[in-house]
Chain A
Amino acid sequence: MKYKIVLNGCSSTYRIQAGETGAFIRNNLESQPGDGSTIVFYNDGAAKENLIAASPTTRLHLVKINSYRPEAVLTYLKELEYGIECDLYLFPGDYAGSELSTRFAARTGGSSIAAVDKIEPGSESLTCYRAIYSNYLRGRFRLGKKPFCLSIARGLSAGAPGNQIEKRQVTESDFWDLPENRFTRDCEFTAADPVGELGRAPFILAAGRGVKSREKTEMLGKIAKELGAELGVSRPVAMSAWAPLDRLLGISGTMARPKLCLAAAVSGAAAFYAGIEKSKKIVAINIDAQAPLVRAADVAIIDDYETVLKELVKLVQSGEPRE
Chain B
Amino acid sequence: MNILVCFKVVPDLDLMPGGDWNVDSRLRVETGYVKNIINPYDESALEIALQFADKADDDQCSPGLTALTIGDSKANLHLKTLRALSFDRAVRIDSKEDLRFRPETCAALISAYINKIGKNNVVIMGRQSGVGDNAQTPLICAEMMGWPCITQVSSIEPAAGACLRVTNLVDDGTCRQTIEPPCILAIGNAPNSYLRVPTLKDIKAHGQKPVEVIDAAVLMATGGQPALPGGCELLGIEAIDRRRSGIIIEGETAAEKTQALYYSYLKGWLAGI
CB distance from A268 to the nearest CB of B (A): 8
Question: Cβ of B197: which chain A residues have Cβ within 8 Å of it?
Answer: none
A113 touches B (CB below 8 Å): yes
Find chain B residues with CB under 8 A from A90 CB.
Answer: none
The answer to whether A136 and B171 have CB atoms under 8 Å apart is no
Write out, one digit per residue, whether chain B residues 232-251 have a CB within 8 A of any chain A CB (1) or not (0).
Answer: 11111111101111111100
Please state if A141 and B233 are interface contacts (CB–CB under 8 Å): yes
Given A102-B139, A298-B245, A302-B248: A260 and B232 within 8 A (CB)? Answer: no
- Interface residue? A37 (CB, 8 A): no
Determine whether A71 belongs to the interface, using a CB cutoff of 8 Å to chain B.
Answer: yes
Which residues on A sit within 8 Å (CB–CB) of B16? 136
Closest A residue, CB atoms, query B159: A185
In the complex, what distance in Å separates the CA atom of A188 from the CA atom of B234?
A: 41
- B135 near A115 with CB under 8 A, answer yes
A257 within 8 A of B: no
Are the C-beta atoms of A253 and B189 separated by less than 8 Å? yes
> A191, B172: Cβ atoms under 8 Å?
yes
Asked whether A188 lies within 8 Å of B175 as measured between CB atoms, the reply is yes
In the complex, the answer to whether A144 meets B231 with C-beta atoms within 8 Å is yes
Q: Cβ of A112 and Cβ of B232 under 8 Å apart?
A: yes
Residues A299 and B173 in contact, CB atoms below 8 Å apart: no
B154 to chain A, nearest CB (A): 8
Hey, which chain A residues are within 8 Å of B142, CB to CB? 103
User: Could you say which interface size class chain B belongs to?
Assistant: 35 or more
A301:B258 contact, CB within 8 angstroms: yes
Which of B100, B144, B173, B267 contacts A190 (CB under 8 A)?
B173
A140 to B238, Cβ gap below 8 A? Answer: yes
Contact of A134 among B130, B180, B232 (CB under 8 A): B130
- Chain B residues, Cβ within 8 Å of A315: 258-259, 262
Residues of the A chain whose Cβ atoms lie less than 8 Å from the Cβ of B36: none
Q: Is B175 within 8 A of A189, CB to CB?
A: yes
Do residues A307 and B254 form an inter-chain contact, with CB atoms below 8 A?
yes
Is B32 among interface residues, defined by CB-CB distance under 8 A? Answer: no
B244 pairs with A114, CB closer than 8 A: no
- Would you call B149 and A8 a contact (CB within 8 A)? no
Interface secondary structure of B, over-half rule:
mixed
Q: A111 interface residue, CB < 8 Å from B?
A: yes
* Total of A-B residue pairs, C-beta within 8 Å: 270
Q: Which residues of chain B come closer than 8 Å to A123, judged between CB atoms?
A: none
Give the chain B neighbours of A298 by CB distance below 8 A: 244-247, 265
B233–A136 CB distance below 8 A: no
Q: Per a CB cutoff under 8 Å, which of A106, A136, A191 touches B13?
A: A136
Stretch at the interface among A49-57, A92-100, A169-177: A92-100
Within 8 A of B (CB), among A124-140: 127, 130-140
When each residue 206-230 of chain B gets 1 if its CB lies under 8 Å from chain A and 0 otherwise, what string results? Answer: 0000000000000000000000111
Instruction: Establish whether residues B262 and A312, one from each chain, have CB atoms under 8 Å apart when the complex forms.
Output: yes
Nearest residue (CB) in A for B263 is A315
Bound-state CA distance A302–B1 (Å) is 53
In the complex, the answer to whether A270 meets B191 with C-beta atoms within 8 Å is: no
Question: Contacts A71-B148, A239-B194; is A260 near B14 (CB within 8 Å)?
Answer: no
What are 28 inter-chain pairs, A to B, with CB distance below 8 A?
A: A71-B148, A95-B152, A99-B151, A102-B135, A110-B231, A112-B136, A115-B135, A140-B237, A141-B234, A183-B180, A185-B178, A187-B175, A188-B176, A189-B170, A202-B273, A228-B270, A269-B14, A280-B269, A283-B265, A296-B244, A296-B246, A298-B244, A299-B245, A299-B246, A301-B254, A308-B258, A308-B261, A315-B259
A sample of 5 more A-B contacts (CB under 8 A), given A132-B133, A295-B246, A297-B246, is A134-B13, A138-B238, A141-B234, A299-B245, A308-B261
